[in-house]
Structure 1
């Protein structure tokens, strides 16, 4: 009797599948803009860049690990996966977010890592990023730096992680810029 009961429990447990997909991405279909808005509702631009930089720095250190709470790191990892997918969706739709800034001088602080062309049309950031790397490769990059930042390891990441890092930081800036311009456009339309 006990043997049959345990066998049924094991069979039942095998049938249960967990959904570990991030809530930002799972479920109903959403637009890239909605996913970006969700990201920035829970994450500030500067704080996101800071934690990404911190994770990257610790991933490259062999004898040190990040002191941040692992739950915070995991939530950030999931949020960044969502933002990368949002950028991919935005790139597919090819809607222009261009602003004519030729007449004004752009501050280097406003540019961040973006070039002047990327500042004028932030969609170029996503086009270039996904021309060089796939979504899977960005997932691999994020998972890798999180993994290596969470403990002391003998080996360092085997791939070049600097370029995906630069693209990811630029995606943060571009996504924030797109949402900022969208808010400005809405305010201009209401006034």
Structure 2
């Protein structure tokens, strides 16, 4: 099966480019914490429906978040093609050690976080998620209200799920000090 690999465009928000989705996720969560991304997305969704402009004192920070989330969407599109090795830490059940015990993921999604990406892209295409993100940020930064695309809730919920799944993968398999930073070949065979 041939896969389409989309450029990650990490150089727009970080000092280096990334071609490996795992390395991008590491850089993504080094830029902001999971809770911060979720909070920002919630605020963007709120400001879409008001005439108030989101962060009028410094709207440029929203563009950095937008660029990082767009790169994340491209990386998550690649992650749908990865599967954890049987018996790997991805088979764990929710526990007290996880940051995501009370997350947006179901029990099955918690056990198999790579499946979240596959399910998300069965529901909507990468282009649909990018349109959602662009429209949400555009409306939050402008005095106009209400989206032109009819369903903004579904991509929002799936974006939250993808964020949780990516954090869970990172939590289970390491971060910048751990196994996500070896060469791409080692990473791909690990999962």
TM-score w.r.t. the length of structure 2 is 0.75
Equivalent-residue separation in structure 1 for 2:20 and 2:150 (angstroms) = 31
Q: 1:137 aligns with which of 125, 128, 133?
A: 128
Q: Which runs of 5+ in 2 are unaligned?
A: 1-8, 180-191
Alignment correspondent of 2:54: 66
Q: Which residue of the partner structure matches residue 101 of structure 1?
A: 93
Runs of 4+ in 1 over 4 A off after TM superposition: 24-29, 104-109
Q: How does 1:1-191 map to 2 (within 5 A)?
A: 21-23=9-11, 30-61=19-50, 63-67=51-55, 69-96=58-85, 98-101=90-93, 110-153=101-144, 155-183=146-174
What displacement does 1:30 show?
Answer: 1.6
More helix by share: 1
Distance 1:94 1:39 in 2: 21
Alpha-carbon separation, structure 1, partners of 2:84 and 2:98: 25
Task: Report if aligned partners of 2:82, 2:114 keep a CA contact under 8 Å in 1.
Answer: no
Say which one has the larger Rg: 1
Partner SS state of residue 23, structure 1: helix
RMSD between aligned residues:
2.9
Q: Which runs of 5+ in 1 are unaligned?
A: 1-20
Shift of 1:84: 1.1
Quick one: distance in 2 between partners of 1:59 and 1:154?
A: 6
